[in-house]
Amino acid sequence: MVSPGTKLILWRFILPIAMIALFTPNFCLAKQSKINGLKMNVIDRCWRLNAEWRKHRSQLATCSLGYVGKMVNNIGKDLVHYKVIDPSDDPINPKPGTLRYGASMIQGKVWITFQRDMHIKLERPVLISSFTTIDGRGTNVHIADNACLLIFKATNVIIHGIRIHHCKPQSPGIVMGTHGKVIPLGQVDGDAIRLVTASNIWIDHNTLYDCQDGLLDVTRGSTNVTISNNWFRNQDKVMLLGHDDGYVRDQNMKVTVVYNHFGPNCNQRMPRIRYGYAHVANNLYQGWVQYAIGGSMSPSLKSEANLFVASTPGRKEVTWRKVSHKNEDRWEFHSVRDAFENGASFMVTKGGRVPKPNYSKEQCFKIVDAKFVRSLTRWSGTLRCSKTSRC
């Protein structure tokens, strides 16, 4: 029997601790679970354990984490379900049933799926409007061989489960804009996904490779972005965060890069950061040539529990800093609990505090030990989802 006195003492101590735990904003509660004997990361375990995921596709929107928060603005009663049935593309007069019609013309919340496997060759970049989800789960969808995706002045966009590759630069021309009117569009680089003044964007489980410029560019004041579970491979310039050295508005940029697989055959920019803040956690780096993570213009980076495996022969130093005459030594490159193999090394900023991401409760997630990174990134890129069961 526990005496009433002991009980009182217990409550005096346990209750306050429990209260602190519950109401501390940065307190992260996240469990790992196992599937096929391997650990599944927190984003995946939020929906992949559901064998009925096809009936509950919008559940995915509640699974995001990091700076994008939860994508709950993308779902709800007024959500339009749209199915792409036609892989063709008309950039000025898009036909109903095509990707461009769903992504640019439909206003408000739209959830885009695909009727079957398809290869979409876009005539011009597709402009994705706010509150749009592109969900390739259950189908094998390629956007490839010419123009690719552009998120321009839009918010609340999810891109999930698409293979995007062999994207080419586009000369200026007119395209269907996001408000049902054609607009002139200037020169666009050959990126797989380009964000321009975009916010609340979640890029999850895509496979991106072999593009003429980069794979993913976050530019011109874009912020609140989470890049998770993607597979980036066969590319020179992989990921750019921050427009150019003169674009000071990118100071407010906040990006979470988590559970991605970089490589093989990636050269540089995983990512390259200008001005803003990037939290790069639990990613797998399978070699690099010039560098893995680099930057200029006083960027802040918290690299946390990533696994950096240097390629042999190749560069072993993970980081690169652009030397400019004005602001030398103002990098904040911090490495916390990272793991290094094949002699990889990381040049950290000496002194100073590691900048915290300051996540809210819904953005927050638990970062696991780097020794689990191989299994947590095991399903990066597009998933193979069988017709009858789990994804």
Ligand X SMILES: *[C@@H]1O[C@H](CO)[C@@H](O)[C@H](O)[C@H]1NC(C)=O
Looking at the Cβ atoms of 231 and 277, the one nearer to ligand X is 277
Contact flag: residue 235 with ligand X (CB under 6 A)? no
Site string for ligand X, 270-289 (x = CB under 6 A): -------x------------
Tell me the window of 38-46, 113-121, 185-193, 352-360 that interacts with ligand X (CB under 6 A): 352-360
Instruction: Identify the CA nearest to 110 among candidates 57, 150, 62.
Output: 57
What residues between 186 and 215 interact with ligand X by CB under 6 A? Answer: 199-200
Smallest separation (angstroms) from ligand X to the CB of 179 = 20
CB-based contact 32:45 (threshold 8 Å): yes
Looking at the Cβ atoms of 25 and 355, the one nearer to ligand X is 355
Torsion angle of alpha carbons 210, 212, 213, 215, nearest 10°? -20
Tell me the window of 201-209, 257-265, 309-317, 356-364 that interacts with ligand X (CB under 6 A): 356-364
According to CB under 6 A, which one of 27, 352, 355, 366 is a site residue for ligand X? 355
Measured CA to CA, the distance from residue 370 to residue 376 in angstroms comes to 10
Smallest separation (angstroms) from ligand X to the CB of 284 = 24
DSSP per-residue codes, 29-46: ----EEETTEEE-HHHHH
Contact flag: residue 116 with ligand X (CB under 6 A)? no
Q: Apex CA 177: angle with CA 173 and CA 182, to 5°?
A: 60
Measured CA to CA, the distance from residue 176 to residue 153 in angstroms comes to 14
Looking at the Cβ atoms of 116 and 356, the one nearer to ligand X is 356
The structure tokens listed for 342 are 């094949």
> Where is 7: in which H helix or E strand?
helix 4-23
Tell me the window of 18-26, 164-172, 208-216, 351-359 that interacts with ligand X (CB under 6 A): 351-359
Contact flag: residue 356 with ligand X (CB under 6 A)? yes
Contact flag: residue 340 with ligand X (CB under 6 A)? no
Contact flag: residue 223 with ligand X (CB under 6 A)? yes
Count of residues that bind ligand X according to CB under 6 A:
10
Smallest separation (angstroms) from ligand X to the CB of 295 = 15
What residues between 154 and 173 interact with ligand X by CB under 6 A? Answer: none
Looking at the Cβ atoms of 108 and 355, the one nearer to ligand X is 355
The structure tokens listed for 231 are 């597979």
Q: Is 269 a catalytic residue?
A: yes
Active site residue: 163, 220, 233, 269, which one? 269
CB-based contact 61:133 (threshold 8 Å): yes
Smallest separation (angstroms) from ligand X to the CB of 198 = 9
CB-based contact 239:271 (threshold 8 Å): yes
What HEC string does 260-317 produce? CEECCCEEECCCEEECCEEEEECCEEECCCCCCEEEECCCEEEEECCEEECCCCCCCE
CB-based contact 163:207 (threshold 8 Å): yes
Residues 6+ apart with CB under 8 A from 98: 84, 86, 87, 88, 89, 90
Looking at the Cβ atoms of 146 and 256, the one nearer to ligand X is 256
Smallest separation (angstroms) from ligand X to the CB of 254 = 6
Active site residues: 269
Please report, as ranges, the residues that interact with ligand X according to CB under 6 A.
Answer: 199-200, 223-224, 277, 355-358, 360
